[in-house]
Amino acid sequence: MSTIDIEDRLGITFCQRQPIAIERGEGSYVWDESGKKYLDFTSGWGVTCLGHSHPIITQAINQQAQKIIQNPNSGFTYSPARASLLSILKSVLPANLSKVYFANSGAEANDAAIKLARKITGKSKIVSTLGSFHGLTFNTLSVSGGTDNTEKYLPKLTENSFIPFDDIKAAAVAIDDVTAAVILEPIQGEGGVRIPGNGYLKQVANLCRQHKALLIIDEIQTGFCRTGKFFALEHSEMQVEPDILTMGKGIAGGFPFAAFAVNGWVDGQIHRGDHGGTYCGNPLGWAVAVAVLVFSTIFILLPRKQK
Ligand SMILES: Cc1ncc(COP(=O)(O)O)c(C=O)c1O
């Protein structure tokens, strides 16, 4: 039986599949089982920022795998691989963000951000935008305005309010004293690569401060040089100080890994046991993310700055 027959009989997928069985990839290309070469315009849902099977990534996986791939209980012990990543992340993250947690996927990072915002503020309303995508867990589905989240999974977990993206008047009406958080992509990805007007993010940030709501910026798709800077928030028209910034996709160039960074105040409100998990960061993810970050800084961003 062919790969396609077996998968069609036994597997579950979440989108319309192409009848192509991909066996390997290199750079921007992938090859199917018969050796036919394709130019990969998907980049694995915007993840393979350094291309497929980049030697920097495969080398990091090999080297770390020979040392250790699961610390004696993540969080219970310290790790040089994690310390390296934390130091490098600190140098590229917005300056107000001081602590980082690790996760396995973008949805998991956003889910945690929403959960913690509810705990920290003691409020439950989350404001998000139409056309947005933040993931497919219960919490993130509830705040994703670009997916069918209305009927299928009732009752919803998160009380939410959807507003049009880049509409500050709508934001001013929706963000109120019972709002726990606003979650926003700085540039809407799945919504059609929509860049907000100058000052929109700043005004939303001001509304959050005014109503004691947290600002969660979802850089899962825009982060790690996808917009020419490490984070979209570095572009002058988008510079705001988020309370929580979520990262995924390009952070480890295709290895399943994600993270969220918080400011000092938020960190002070998170207590032992509030969040965690068996794989909340693992040495392979840390090592690959270090490799991706170092490579991106040296070979992509620095030459650009020198031009
Ligand atoms: C902006 C944004 N947030 C969150 C997610 C969810 O990330 P993941 O698929 O890793 O759960 C995505 C995925 O496309 C995304 O584009």
Which of 259, 245, 263, 262 lies closest to 288 in space, CA to CA?
259
Pocket test residue of 49, 110, 187, 220 for ligand 1, highest count of atoms within 8 A of CB: 220
Q: Which residue has the higher pLDDT, 79 or 307?
A: 79
For residues 143-161, average pLDDT: 78
pLDDT band at 150 (very low <50, low <70, confident <90, very high): low
Rounded distance from Cα 1 to ligand 1 centre (Å): 34
**Separation CA 3–CA 23 (nearest Å):** 10
Pocket test residue of 149, 193, 217, 249 for ligand 1, highest count of atoms within 8 A of CB: 249
pLDDT band at 22 (very low <50, low <70, confident <90, very high): very high
- In sequence order, the 6+-apart residues with CB closer than 8 A to the CB of 87 are none
Q: Looking at the CA of residue 137, tell me the nearest atom of ligand 1.
A: 11
Alpha-carbon dihedral angle through residues 242, 244, 249, 252, given to the nearest 10 degrees:
110
**Torsion-angle region of 59 (φ positive above 0: left; ψ -120 to 50: alpha; else: beta):** alpha
**Separation CA 257–CA 248 (nearest Å):** 6
Residue 218 designated active-site? yes
**Separation CA 126–CA 264 (nearest Å):** 21
Residue 267 designated active-site? no
For residues 43-65, average pLDDT: 94
Which residue ranges form the domains of the chain, and what is each CATH number? 3-41 (no CATH), 69-289 (3.40.640.10)
Pocket (CB within 6 angstroms of ligand 1) = 45, 105-107, 110, 133-135, 185, 189-190, 218, 220-221, 248
Q: Residue 97: which H helix or E strand, with range? A: strand 97-103
Which of 203, 154, 210, 211 lies closest to 180 in space, CA to CA?
211
> Residue type at 143?
V
Q: For the segment 190-212, what is each residue's pLDDT rounded down to a tens digit? A: 999 999 999 999 999 999 999 99
Q: Given this model, what pLDDT does residue 307 score?
A: 62
Q: Looking at the CA of residue 249, tell me the nearest atom of ligand 1.
A: 10
Spot the catalytic one: 133, 224, 231, 260: 133
The rounded Cα 133 to chain-centroid distance in angstroms is 11
Rounded distance from Cα 218 to ligand 1 centre (Å): 9
The CB density around residue 78, as the number of other CB atoms within 10 Å, is 8
Coil, strand or helix: which one is 291?
helix
Q: For the segment 238-263, what is each residue's pLDDT rounded down to a tens digit? A: 889 999 999 999 999 999 999 999 99
Q: For the segment 86-98, what is each residue's pLDDT rounded down to a tens digit? A: 999 999 999 999 9
Q: Given this model, what pLDDT does residue 304 score?
A: 65
Q: Given this model, what pLDDT does residue 36 score?
A: 98
Q: Given this model, what pLDDT does residue 291 score?
A: 96
- 231-269 core/surface letters (b: 16 or more CB in 10 A; e: else): bbbebeebebbbbbbbbbbbbbbbbbbbbbbbbeebeee
Q: Tell me how far CA of residue 22 lies from CA of 40, 44, 68, in angstroms.
A: 11, 12, 29
**Separation CA 44–CA 26 (nearest Å):** 13
**Separation CA 121–CA 39 (nearest Å):** 47
The mean of the pLDDT values for the chain is 92
Q: Looking at the CA of residue 222, tell me the nearest atom of ligand 1.
A: 1
Spot the catalytic one: 218, 224, 231, 295: 218
pLDDT band at 76 (very low <50, low <70, confident <90, very high): confident
**Separation CA 75–CA 92 (nearest Å):** 23
> Residue type at 101?
Y
Residue 257 designated active-site? no
Q: Given this model, what pLDDT does residue 211 score?
A: 98
